[in-house]
Chain A
Amino acid sequence: MTRLSLLLGLAVLVAATSVRAAELPAEIKQAGTLKLTVNSTYAPMEYRDPATNELVGLDIDLANELAKRLGVKIVWSETPFAELIPSLQTKRADFIISGIQDRSSRRETADFIDYLTTGPQFFVMAESVAKIATDLCGKKVGTTRSTAFPLEIEKWSKQNCEAAGKPAIQYVPGENSIDVRNQLKQGRIDAAVQGSETLPYAQQQEAGRYRVIGEQLSTGYQGIMFRKDDAALREVVTEHLAVMIADGSYKRILDKFGLGANAVEKPMMNAAPQ
């Protein structure tokens, strides 16, 4: 009898510990390294410091803090934005934290752990005549073509321009945020769209050149992308992220980049409304 209860107690204990802390997948644990791939053209989320050529940014700091807690080193690699999802699929990267927005179309290939609020935002040159967002109806608006922003612009234009009988916004493609701002400076486009989380940095780099106009086109989340069959890694990272939010280290990193207002209360899975 006592022997049975001892066994039962042991079984309960084993079950409890396995529930308590998710384990890193054996492969990563053994190697002691996490392979992460970023597209470093999206300051301040991830970019190369012009002075040192070091990879820096909010995502980089978050990932480093995570790695510290997981007891692993990060091996960074870089890729164009559109190649981020293939990098995850081909296991070049263990997960992707690279300013990528949680979108239902992307959930076909990956699960997102949402960790930052975001949304596309119109901005113009400081001297532009446009005052409110609907002044941009019928005008040329540029954004990075590899992102979801072209679709967001089209949707916003349908709801706010065409529905009100105004001409639709003319979308002009750009290669990346820098190219889009260059087109804006040259007058190729009348306004541009970028993720709201990148605008404080751009305005700090070129003080007084740009003016934000209107509210965010929509509200969504940036997410850490995991392979669908990689639940173990996803759970470990989510757990540690929740701890980082609770103990304030998450907020400190956001504040460092002036994005404290974009904080989330807890990590959420595939939570962005579409």
Chain B
Amino acid sequence: MRASPTLADGFPDLSQMQIAREIHWRRWLAAAAIVVVLAAIARAFANGQIEWSYVSRFLTAKVILQGIVNTMVMAVLAMALGIVLGVVAAIMRLSPNPVLKSVAAGYTWLFRGTPLILQLLLWFNLALVFPTIGIPGLWTARAVDVMTPFLAALLGLGINQGAYTSEVMRAGMLSVDAGQYEAAQAIGMGRLRALRRIILPQAMRVVIPPLGNEFIGMVKATSLASVIQYPEVLHNAENIYYANSRVIELLIVAGCWYLLVVSILTPLQMLLERHFARGTARIIR
């Protein structure tokens, strides 16, 4: 073996030596195994009892597009209702007034304590309890005319969401340093004004990631409204396969749309986070 050249100070000069590449054979094996499994799954889907022509035909069918529009309309409106109710409930929950406090706690308990699908069925069948609803002396209507599948779904999803959002909001408000309340009080702000001007804007930064999470959950929770005949995308896909028996094909169609919507929402959440993080020294991404 040839001796390697030495440097002036007597250490061997390694700068010209090749760095031996380690073969990560376990890593390669794991990757290969995963690729094989994925390929097998892909092959099963390609050769299974799936008629892909139905998938491509119905992917842009009018009924499906209308369904995804209805899904998004419901998700946005129910989430908006949920946020409004959640903010109000969170403020009530943090209020010194024991009545407001316990009503807010009771609301969270009731609507978080029962399954969403049960609540939807209750709203839809409300006319069995209240045949007519209205304002005494002014206006009355048959409950079934008011409680359409749309409204039943909106109330069911929105009020349920409010119960969850109130906890997210409360966490956000608690995350703002107590010194901020005190400073606001010191310059003579009332509680509500301090909340609106000082606390909530700072809380937003903290609540956006969990709210984004909840909204993505909401997009998919709207599918539960299919049982009360709200024509969202799963309901419409089901109607098609009730008629033509292409179950897997139509489920794949609906699945593609949900995935697309969620893929669009994720970067939107990032933008929103960036917006509410303005003015903070640490921007963690």
Q: Which of these binds chain A: B77-85, B100-108, B158-166, B235-243?
A: B235-243
Closest chain A residue, CB of each to CB of B241 = A82
B229 at the interface (CB under 8 A from A): yes
Chain A nearest CB, measured from B229 CB (Å): 5
Q: Decide if the interface of chain B is mainly helix, strand, loop or mixed.
A: helix
From B49, B128, B227, contact of A89 by CB (8 A): B49
The count of chain B contact residues (Cβ–Cβ below 8 Å) is: 20
A105 at the interface (CB under 8 A from B): yes
From A85, A108, A172, contact of B247 by CB (8 A): A85
A175 at the interface (CB under 8 A from B): yes
Contact at B127–A85, with CB atoms within 8 Å? no
Contact at B245–A105, with CB atoms within 8 Å? yes
Contacts of B127 in A (CB 8 A): 186-188
B140 at the interface (CB under 8 A from A): no
From B49, B143, B239, contact of A145 by CB (8 A): B239
For B217-249 the 0/1 string (1 means CB < 8 A from A) is 000000000011100000000110111110110
Contact at B125–A186, with CB atoms within 8 Å? yes
For A158-189 the 0/1 string (1 means CB < 8 A from B) is 00000000000000111100010010011110
State the A residues within 8 Å of B (CB).
82-83, 85-86, 89, 105-106, 108-109, 145-147, 151, 172-175, 179, 182, 185-188
14 extra interface residue pairs, beta carbon distance < 8 Å, beyond A82-B242, A186-B128: A82-B241, A85-B247, A86-B247, A89-B49, A145-B239, A173-B229, A174-B229, A175-B229, A179-B227, A182-B128, A186-B125, A186-B131, A187-B127, A187-B144
> 10 closest pairs, A vs B, by CB?
A186-B127, A188-B144, A146-B242, A173-B229, A186-B144, A86-B247, A175-B227, A85-B245, A187-B144, A82-B242
Instruction: Show 30 residue pairs from A and B whose CB-CB distance is below 8 angstroms, ordered by the A residue.
Output: A82-B238, A82-B241, A82-B247, A85-B247, A86-B247, A86-B248, A105-B243, A106-B245, A108-B245, A109-B245, A145-B229, A145-B238, A145-B242, A146-B238, A146-B242, A172-B229, A173-B229, A174-B229, A175-B227, A182-B128, A186-B125, A186-B127, A186-B128, A186-B144, A187-B127, A187-B131, A187-B142, A187-B144, A188-B127, A188-B144
